[in-house]
Amino acid sequence: MHPGVRVWARRAAAVGLCLLTGCSGGGRQAGPSVDQAVQSPPVSRAVITTTPGDGSQDVAPEGPVRVTVAQGRLVSVRLADDKGAVLVGRVSPDGGSWAPDGRLSPATPYTLDTVAEDGAGLKAAQHVAFSTLTPARTFAAFFTPEDGSTVGVGMPVSLRFTRPITERAAVEKAVTVTADPPVAVRAHWFGSQRLDFRPEKYWAAGSRVTLALRLKDVQGAAGYYGTQAKDVHLTIGRAQVSTVDLTTRTMTVRQDGRMLRTLKVSGGSPEHSTYLGAMVISEKFEVTRMNSQTVGMGDEYDIKDVPHAMRLTSSGTFVHGNYWAPVSVFGSENTSHGCIGLADAKGGSPDTPAGWFFEHSIVGDVIEVRGQEGSVVPPENGLNGWNLSWAQWVRGSALGVH
């Protein structure tokens, strides 16, 4: 071996020995031992437990989701979905537990990141991932009127659900109705499958009304979740409110406060009195069939071509044309089975009182019926919630009086 190589080897060996013994440039004092150099740092005594556990699937949207810590207190908890939306929650006063303020969304992956510390200030962290179930059962709302409609001042916004709703407050909170110009609008439940909205008084003519459905992922009943997230826009047309006086057998038609015409009518007979109160036109038919069997009156009548018919109640009250009674009946006798009849021609004619009123009416117009006999129409029979006072109406909200 070349002498220079041996010198280099001895120097390298010396450097290696120095590294192994921890020596320094100018002293002979030894450094820490190998065992001391690799000693693990202190570990937090805090123990974090989460529900659900890491990797859980098909977690119910209502949870439970909970974080607890033993031998320590929580410093931070972050629950977020796969889009980064954070679900806010609250830590208990003692710092020992956390729970979210709201429900999870169905069919959604979540991450739950927790940091806790023990009495010595040493921190522990945990990361959990889980996903919620995809619901097999859903519900939806059918709404009246249709998107883009122009309706009368009496038209409520009415929702009918495809199944009974038990979580009424949650569903009602997910539906809003607003108007421009602004007016207070409140909700009222008619049973478990119908939710109507109206202001205290009839809508102002020309108002723009918006129904905002935010039912997607909202639990309406155990295991049933909403599917809709959409806006529906309505226009309130001119203000037409007609008044029927069953005593004088007349109907006065007013539009935007101006009287258009007074028409002679025939209301319900004493045996079949016409409902009193405010009734809203919910449907219009150029011609329709009226069969007494469909309203529980046996075989009293079956007229296959009733002209100019406009529905006022779900139970079968209409204002309609009548060609089979003498013209002298109108304005002098109440002879119907509860409907409000106007003189008409067979096949319907625009030149008759019935034809004129049909052409001047739209869905949502109001007919206010007055008389000495008969009962006030039940508010749930048709779109007739106006027969409840404002105080009665707002008490029908699942969210309380507000």
- Give per-residue pLDDT as tens, 67-125: 999 999 999 999 999 888 999 999 999 999 999 998 898 889 999 999 999 999 999 98
Cα distance between residue 262 and residue 252, in whole Å: 4
145 within some domain: yes
The answer to whether the CB of 109 falls within 8 A of the CB of 129 is yes
Judge whether residue 1 has pLDDT over 50. no
**DSSP 8-class letter at 214:** E
Residue 64 within a domain: yes
- CATH number for the domain spanning 77: value is 2.60.40.3780
Residues 6+ apart with CB under 8 A from 372: 246, 247
Tell me what the mean pLDDT of segment 197-213 comes to: 98
pLDDT of residue 121: 93
Mean pLDDT, the chain, whole residue set: 89
Q: Helix H segments across 181-262? A: none
| Cβ-contact 157, 178 below 8 angstroms | no
Provide the number of structural domains found in the chain: 3
| Domain end position, chosen among 73, 103, 131 | 131
| 175 and 230 belong to one structural domain | yes
For residue 71, the model assigns a pLDDT of 95
The mean pLDDT value for 347-352 works out to 93
The HSE-up count of residue 350 (CA atoms within 13 Å, CB side) is 3
Residue 20 lies in a domain: no
Percentage of the chain exceeding pLDDT 70: 87
Q: What is the CATH number of the domain that holds 329?
A: 2.40.440.10
Amino acid at 361: S
Residues 305 and 283 in one domain: yes
For residues 314 and 275, the answer to whether their CB atoms sit within 8 Å is: no
Q: Are residues 75 and 178 in the same domain?
A: no
pLDDT mean over 154-175: 97
Q: Which has the minimum average pLDDT: 170-174, 303-307, 382-386?
A: 303-307
| More confident site: 16 or 366 | 366
Q: What is the pLDDT of residue 61?
A: 87
Q: How confident is the model at residue 12 (pLDDT cuts 50, 70, 90)?
A: very low
Query: Alpha-carbon distance 244 to 369, whole Å?
Result: 5
| Mean pLDDT of the region 223-246 | 96
Per-residue model confidence (pLDDT) at position 37: 52
Among the options 308, 320, 337, 402, which is catalytic? 320
Q: What is the mean pLDDT of residues 220-232?
A: 93
Looking at the structure, tell me whether residues 251 and 358 fall in a common domain.
yes
**CA 150, CA 206: separation in Å to the nearest integer?**
9
- Region 45-59: mean pLDDT is 94
Average pLDDT estimate for 212-218: 95
Same-domain pairing of 244 and 331 = yes
**HSE-CB of 111 using CA atoms within 13 angstroms:** 8
Check whether residue 94 and residue 192 sit in a common domain.
no
Q: Report if pTM > 0.85.
A: no
Burial class (CB in 10 A: 0-12, 13-18, 19+), 167: middle
Task: Based on the fold, state whether residues 122 and 231 are members of the same structural domain.
Answer: no
Q: Which domain holds residue 112?
A: 47-131
Look at residue 372 and tell me whether its pLDDT is greater than 60. Answer: yes
127 noted as active-site residue? no
Last residue of a domain, one of 107, 131, 155: 131
**269-312: pLDDT as tens digits:** 999 999 999 999 999 999 998 876 666 666 666 888 999 999 99
Within-domain flag for 34: no
User: Is it the case that residue 13 has pLDDT exceeding 50?
Assistant: no
> Residue 398 domain-assigned?
no
Question: Do 149 and 223 reside in the same domain of the chain?
Answer: yes
From 180, 204, 237, the end of a domain falls on: 237
- Count Cβ atoms within 10 A of the Cβ of residue 25 and give its class: 0-12 exposed, 13-18 middle, 19 or more buried: exposed
Q: Within this chain, do residues 230 and 244 fall inside the same structural domain, yes or no?
A: no
Sign of CA dihedral 136, 166, 379, 156: negative
Is residue 183 over pLDDT 70? yes
> Rounded mean pLDDT of 235-259?
97
User: Residue 22 domain-assigned?
Assistant: no
The enclosing domain of 197 has a CATH number of: 2.60.40.3710
Instruction: Report the SS3 class of residue 277.
Output: strand
Please check the confidence at residue 18 and state whether its pLDDT lies above 60.
Answer: no
Clarify whether residues 107 and 224 are in a common domain. no
**Bridging pattern class, strands 157-161 and 194-199:** antiparallel
Type of residue at 60: A
**The one catalytic residue among 188, 308, 337, 339:** 339
Higher pLDDT, 354 or 296: 354
In a domain, 5, yes or no: no
Residue environment code for 310-339, b if the CB has 16+ CB neighbours within 10 A, otherwise e: bbbbeebbbbbbbbeeeeebbbeebbbbbb
213 and 255 belong to one structural domain: no
Helix (H) or strand (E) holding 366: strand 366-370
Contact criterion met (CB below 8 Å) for 106 and 134: yes
Please say if 23 is a catalytic residue. Answer: no
pLDDT band, very low/low/confident/very high, at 149 (cuts 50, 70, 90): very high
Contact 188, 397 (CB under 8 A): yes
Residues 248 and 373 in one domain: yes
- The answer to the question of residue 9 being in a domain is no
